Structure 1
Amino acid sequence: MTDGAPQAPVLRPALAPLERLPLALGLVALTVLARLLLAALVPLVPDEAYYALWSTRLSAGYFDHPPMIAWFIRPGTMLLGETPLGVRLVPVLSALPATFFIWRAARHLVADPRAGAIAALVFNLTLLGFFGLAVATPDAPLILFSAAMLYAAARLLDDERPFWWLAVGVATGLALLSKYSAALAAAGFGIAVLLVPAWRRRLLSPWPWAALLAALVVFSPNLIWNALNGWATIMKQGGRTTEAWQFQPQYLLEFLAAQIGLATPLVFLFAVLGLLPGYRKGWRANGAMRLVLALVLVPTAYFLFHALRSRVEGNWPGFLYPALAVATAAALTLVPADAGNRLSRLRRATIPVALGFLAFAFIYALVVPVTLLGSRDPILRLTCGWHGLGEAIDTIRRETGARYILTYDYQLNAELAWLLPDVPVVQANESQRYDFLGHDADALVGPGIVVTRDPIEQELAGLFGSAERIAVVPRRFRGVTIADYYIVRIDRPTATPLPQ
C-alpha cells in the first residue's frame, strides 16, 4: 500500500458463502433440490394427509384453517398424482419466490449491498425456513406471502407510489388466506406505519386505507365462507386466545429453546443483535430498522404472552423468519470478517454451524428414522407404518362387512381417509372437521368399525349399544411397533348424529 488508501478486507474461506454471490446462489439452489428430494421420499405426515384431503374438495374455508394450503396442493397432485411429491410440489417450489422476496427486501433495508445474498442464504439454512417450505402445511404459503409483504413494505420506504401500498395489502390478504396468525404480521405493519414518520403523514391520504381495503377484499372469500358456516374457523382459532388459562411459565423457556434450535443458535444470536440499537448503522436510515422491529416484536410479544399459559408450537413463528433473516444480515455485515475478536469468530462460524444443523436434520429425516429410539422417535412416529396399517384395517373392514370407519383422532382419521378414499372415514368426536368430504348420513348406518389407540369398547358400548373388539393391529416399521390400534365392531341402526 503506497497511497495510504485502505485495503479491502481479505475474505476467508469460511466466509465465502456470505461474501460471494455465486456460492450463495449455489447453496440456495442446493436447499431447493434437497427439499424436492425430501418431498419425494418421505411419506406424508398426518397433517399433510389432512390438508391433502382438503385439496380434493376445494373450498373458500375449512374447519381448522383458511384454504390457501389446499389451493397450493391441488396443482401438484393434478400434475404428479396423489403422491408425497405431488402434495408437496408447490410448497417446495414456493421457496424460490420467497427467497427472491427476502433477497430484495434485504437489499432495500440493509445498508450493505451484500445483505441480500446473506439474508436469502440464512433464511434457507434455518431449520424452520428449510422445513417450513418442504412440507405441505399452512406455514408454507404463510411464509411465502409474509416474505412478499416484507418486500413490498421495504419498497414502500423508498417509493411511496400507491402500487406498493396496494402490494402490501394484497400480500397481507393472501397471508391471511394462508393462516390467521398473519393478523399478527398485519398488526406489526400497522405499528410500523405509526413509527415511520413519512408513513404516519400518509395516514391523511387514501393509500394506507386502500391497502387495508385490499387486504380485506383478498381475504373476503374466507370471511364469507365463515359467515355462511357459523364462523367455524374463526371461532376455533380464536378460542386459543379466549380460553381460560393458568400461569405456566415453563412454556416460555420451551418456546425460546425451540426458536434457538429452529433458527440455529448463531443465526438466532445475530438476528437479536441486528435488532438492537448498537447495530443501527447496519440499516438504511429511512425507517428500515423500525419496520423490521415492528414486524418482529409485535407478533413476538403475543407469543411470549401465550407461552406464559400454554405451549407455543415451534412452527407458529415461521412467518417471522423472513424478517429475522434480514436482521441477521444487518448484524453480520457490521461485524468485521477478519478481526480476531470473539464476535468475528462467531460470524465466521454462522453459516458452517447452520449448514451443519441442517445437514444433520436433512439426513436424519431422509435416511432415518433409525430404530434406536423406537416409538419415541418423532420422525418414525409421524411418517412410518401408515400404509401397512391402512391395508390391515381395510382387510378387516371387508372381512367383517363394515361399511364405514369411525375414529376419535383427527391425525389417524386423516391418514386412513387419505389411504382409503373409497371408504367413509369419519372422526366421530369432531365430525365437522370432515364435513367437506360430504359423507351421506346413510353411509354411516349398519355395521362399521371404530379404530382407537386405547381399549375403550366399554365406553363405545354405552354410546352405540353394542361394541365388540375384533382385533388389535400394530403399526410397525422395521420391526418396531410404533403404536397398537384397537378395532371394535359396532352397528348403527339409524342415521342419527354420531355420539360424541
Structure 2
Amino acid sequence: MVTTKWSRGPALLIAAGTLGLHAVCATAYGYHRDEFYFLAESKRLDWAFASEPPFTPLLGRLSTTLFGDSLFALRLWPALAGAAVVLIATLIARDLGGGGRAQVIAGLATGTATVSLSMFHLFGPSAFDQLAWAGCLWILLRLVRGADPRWWLGFGLVAGLGFQNKQTLALLGLALPVALLATPAQRRHAATRWPWLGALLALAIAAPVLVWQAAHDWPMPAVSASIREDEGGLAGAALFLPMQVLTMNPLLAPVWIAGLWWLFRTVEFRLFGWLYVVLLVLLVVVGGKYYYLAPMYVVLFAAGGVAAERWSRRALVPVAVGVAGVVALPLALPVLPVSAHRDLPITDINPVLAETIGWSAFLRQIAAVRDTLPPDERTTAVVLTSNYGQAGAVEQLGGPYGLGQPVSGHNNYWLWGPPADSATIIAVGFEDGRALRARFGSVTRAGTVDNGLGVDNEEQGTPLWICRDPVQPWSRLWPEFRNYEA
C-alpha cells in the first residue's frame, strides 16, 4: 500500500489545540491526590517505587527544579504528551492509507476521547504511558508495512523506556506474540532474530525496575492484586466492554468499532485487530482497570478514520467527532464551576476531578486538630494518614499550616518509615478507628473532614483522630501499617 501524504498543517493544529486546551484548564481546580504522591516520590528519587517505576517522579523533579512548585508547569508535561499522541495518531492514519479526513478524525478522536482528556490533564504515568504505547504501535505498523526489520530494536527501546514509566507495557509484550500467531500474514516476523533482540533490549532497559522490586519483596504484585480484587470477578468481566464504550465517549464508539471492523477486513493490518482482542481478553481475565486498554484506541480511531473516509466523502464525520469531544469536556476537564460537582452527577460518572477539590479545607481541619493539643505535644505531633494522597497533600501543601512531615503505611510512604516513638499522632482516615484502638492506649475522635462545598470525594467525611501511647515501639508497630494497594 502506498503511503499517503501526511496532512501536517491540520495535524499540528489539532496537537496545538490539545496543548492549548489543557494549558487553559491546568489550574482551574487544584492538585490531584496522585500528583501529591508523585511529587513526594520526586523528592526521594530511586530506581523504582512500590507502585510505579521512576520516570514520572524523575520528571516531577525536573519540573520543580526548573519551575518550582507550579501546578501549571507540572501539568504542561502530560499536555505535551497528549499533543504528541495526537500527532502519532495522524501518522498512524496516514500509514494505514488514510488521507486528510482520516488523519483529522484520528487526531480529534484521540485527543478528545473522555479518558484521553482526563489523562492528559493530570500529571502521572498514564499520560506518558499513552505516548510510549503510541510510539510502539506506530513502529509496529511500520514493520507490518515492510520497514527494515532492525526497527524491532526501536520497538524494544521505546517499550523498555515505557516500562520505566508504567509496567502496563508488559501487557503489550504478552499480547503481541499471540496476535502474531493469530495473523498468518505477519508470522514471518517471529522467524527472524530482530523481534527477539528487541525484546532483550526492552528487558535490559527494564531490569533496574525489576531488580528494585525483587530487593523490596515485590510490592508491585501486591498493588496489582488489589486492582484485581477491585476490578476483577464476574462483575468486572461483564462490565469491561461496556466501560470501554463509556470511558472512550459513547459518541465516538461508531468510529472505533468501524475501525476494528476495518482492521479485521484488511489482511495487511489484521494484526492490530487481533492485538486489540487479545489485550481485551487478557485484561478481562487478569482484572485490569478499564483504561488500560486506552492506548489501542489510537490505532482503532485511525482505522475508523480511514473507513469513514472511504465510505463517505463528506466532512460530516470530522465535525461530528469534534462535537463529541466538546460534549465530553465537562466529564473530564475542570470547565465547570466547582459547585457543579455538588449539583450534577459528574462525580458518579468520573470521580477523578472530585479528587482535585477541597484540599485547603482538608489541611485547615487537620491543623485545627493539632492546635487543640497541649503546647508540648503540638510541637512534636505527626500526621499519620491512611493513604498516600492525604500524606502527599500534607507534605506538599502543609508547610504554611506547620503540619510537618507526615507518615503513612500506604505504598512507598511505608518504605519511608514510621514516626518517632514520642510523637502524638493525628490520624487521618481509618474509618471506625478499630485499627487505631488496637495499637494505641488512647484514641479520641477529634473531627470529620468537610470540604464545605458538598462535593463527594475520598476525603469528604474522613474521620480525624488523636492517638497517644502506642502499645509497642514503632519499630514493631510499623509492619502492621503496611498497605500495598492501588
SS in 2 for 1:170: helix
**Aligned match of 1:448:** 425
Q: Give the secondary structure class of the aligned counterpart of 2:26.
A: helix
CA, structure 1 residues 483+206, in 2 after alignment: closer, same or farther (shift >3 Å)?
Answer: same
Give, as a single letter, the amino acid of the residue that structure 1 aligns with 2:363.
Answer: G
Aligned to 2:357: 384
CA contact (8 A) 1:149 1:168 kept: yes
TM-score under structure 1 length normalisation:
0.81
Aligned match of 1:302:
282
Tell me what 1:424 maps to: 405
Q: Verify: 1:329 aligned to 2:305, yes or no.
A: yes
Deviations 1:163-202 (A, max 9, x none): 4111111121122222222222223332344355565334
Counterpart pick for 2:338 among 351, 368, 379: 368
Aligned twin of 1:167 = 154
Instruction: Tell me which residue corresponds to 1:3.
Output: none
Match of 1:293 among 265, 269, 273: 273
AA aligned opposite 2:404: V
- Give the secondary-structure state (helix, strand or coil) at the position aligned to 1:405: strand
Structure 2 counterpart of 1:322, which letter?
A: V
1:235: how far off?
Answer: 4.3
> Does 2:254 align with 1:269?
yes
Counterpart residue identity of residue 293, structure 1: G
2:42 aligns with 55
Match of 1:15 in 2: none
Deviations 1:282-313 (A, max 9, x none): x5x6x2x223213311111123335xxx6x54
Equivalent residue number for residue 318 of structure 1: 294
Alpha-carbon contact 2:32-2:355 (below 8 Å) kept: yes
Deviation at 1:489, TM superposition (A): 3.1
Give the Cα–Cα distance (whole angstroms) in 2 for the partners of residues 240 and 453 of structure 1. 20
Aligned-partner residue type, residue 327 of structure 2: F
Deviations 1:205-233 (A, max 9, x none): 32111111111011111011112212222
1:352–1:256: structure 2 CA closer, same or farther, 3 Å change rule?
A: same
Q: Quote how far apart the aligned CAs of 1:447 are.
A: 1.7
Q: 1:185-196 alignment to 2 at 5 Å?
A: 185-195=172-182
Q: Name the CA distance, whole Å, in 2 between partners of 1:212 and 1:98.
A: 23
SS in 2 for 1:449: strand
Larger Rg over CA atoms? 1
1:159 Cα deviation from its structure 2 partner: 4.0
In structure 2, the CA distance between the partners of 1:365 and 1:66, relative to structure 1 (3 Å rule), is farther
Superposed counterparts of 1:111-122, under 5 Å: 111-112=98-99, 114-122=101-109
Provide the identity percentage.
24
Residue identity in the other structure for 1:434:
Y
- For residue 4 of structure 1, what is the aligned residue in structure 2? none
Q: CA deviation at 1:375?
A: 11
SS of the residue 1:476 aligns to: coil
1:79 to 66, 84, 91: 66
Cα-to-partner distance string for 1:305-338 (whole Å, 9 max, x where unaligned): 35xxx6x544222222322222322322222134
CA distance in 2 between partners of 1:126 and 1:84 (Å): 23
TM-score by length of 2: 0.83
Kindly tell me the number of residue pairs found equivalent between the two proteins.
459
Q: Are residue 486 (structure 1) and residue 464 (structure 2) matched?
A: yes
Equivalent-residue separation in structure 2 for 1:244 and 1:264 (angstroms): 23
- In structure 2, the partner of 1:396 is 369
Aligned mate of 1:93, from 80, 89, 94: 80
For residue 204 of structure 2, what is the amino acid of its counterpart? V
Query: Structure 1: any 5+ residue segments left out of the alignment?
Result: 1-18, 339-343
For residues 126-275 of structure 1, what are the structure 2 equivalents within 5 Å?
A: 126-195=113-182, 199-237=186-224, 248-249=234-235, 251-275=236-260
CA RMSD between the two structures: 3.3
Q: Any conservation in 2 of the 1:132–1:140 contact (CA below 8 Å)?
A: yes
